[in-house]
Amino acid sequence: MGGSATVWDMIRHIPLPLGLLSSLLFSLPAALNAQAPGVRIVRDRVEPSAETVKQANEARAAGRLLDKEMVRGQMTRTHHDVKLPAPAKLELPARQIWERAQAAYVRVGWHYLCKRCDDWHQGLSGGYFVTEDGVVATCHHVVAPKEDHREAYLIAVSALGEFWPVKEVLAANAVADAALLRVDTGRKMKPLPLNIEVHPGDSAWCFSDPLGRSSYFSQGIVNRFFELRRNGEWVRRMDVSTDWAPGSSGSAVLDRSGNAIGHVSEISAVGNARNKSANQPAKTLITFHHAARAADVLALARPPGTSATTCQPVETDPP
């Protein structure tokens, strides 16, 4: 039998009472397009939101934004004493990990003028709240001022497009690729606790906007902890097998209890060399996903010389 049967073709050959058939047909479109209550249908971010650009320009005119020179000066800070929630212990189903990841997710980056035109642009990556009062963790390279920005201001935007000024860079570490910011949200946020009790083989999740694909949630495992050379220094990273791409930087990597165990730092595609004699292009054999570690974020929130395993506040698991 050639071709494929449509839904109508299948239904019309089933002997059903007229009332039941009518009810089935009227409910069919809703059933085909349904998802669980509270699950948003998202749109990919192909360009900056005009409303977010407008709000950022209004905040800039009112003097509420940090410009790139102020950010550059504040990024010399090495730590800021922050009271963090204690790690959660209860293992959660994946959908609850997703709920916590999206609730803590924030887009961080620059509202800027380039050197080629007079239009305001926005380049945003990821971040995640680590306190209720608006402290955000993200990558050092997300916060670092960019040379190709003629004029630029550091901003934050929620997954729903809510605009927030970044008030201050609290601490930063280029080697760890980690930074802490204070964001003016005007309300209590739902933070992710930090967990450093992590082993290879542990489950890992990531919620981010890779290449502008909104609210992408993926699962993998912790692959390894390792050191690599960056600018003449050995730096520590964690490899995980969750998915990410440009635009994901700074987004949290979570464990099965909804704690942040690190955040997206780099992606490295490794392959064989191009065979010029056979005119064959290089082929990617494996892609590594390097994450900054929660231990390095925790170090920014502790006085110098304080062990990462001490000073844990007493707090119950978040609801």
Residues contacting 167, CB < 8 A, separation 6+: 66, 134, 181, 182, 183, 184
- Whether pLDDT at 277 is above 50: yes
* Residues 170, 172: Cα–Cα separation, whole Å: 7
Residue of 259, 317, 292, 289 whose CA lies nearest to 97 = 259
Query: Domain containing 59 — which CATH number?
Result: 2.40.10.120
- Whether pLDDT at 2 is above 90: no
List, for residues 104-145, the tens digit of each pLDDT value: 999 999 999 999 999 999 999 999 999 999 999 999 999 999
Give 8-15 contacts, CB < 8 A, sequence gap 24+: none
Range of the domain at 202: 50-300
Whether residue 228 lies inside any domain: the answer is yes
Give the number of domains in the chain: 1
When pLDDT is cut at 50, 70 and 90, the band that residue 205 belongs to is: very high
* Residues 13, 301: Cα–Cα separation, whole Å: 67
List, for residues 13-34, the tens digit of each pLDDT value: 555 454 544 454 444 454 456 6
- Whether pLDDT at 7 is above 50: no
* Span 267-273, average pLDDT: 84
CB–CB of 191/132 below 8 Å? yes
Whether residue 8 lies inside any domain: the answer is no
pLDDT value of residue 45: 80
* Span 204-231, average pLDDT: 95
Whether residue 22 lies inside any domain: the answer is no
pLDDT value of residue 311: 38
Question: What mean pLDDT is reported for the chain?
Answer: 86
**H or E stretch including 262?**
strand 260-272
Whether residue 60 lies inside any domain: the answer is yes
Whether residue 76 lies inside any domain: the answer is yes
pLDDT value of residue 177: 97
Residues contacting 91, CB < 8 A, separation 6+: 256, 257
- The pTM is what? 0.83
The two tokens of residue 262 are: 């690190």
Whether residue 79 lies inside any domain: the answer is yes
* Span 187-207, average pLDDT: 97
Whether residue 41 lies inside any domain: the answer is no
Whether residue 316 lies inside any domain: the answer is no
pLDDT value of residue 4: 47
pLDDT value of residue 25: 44
Strand partners, 272: 283
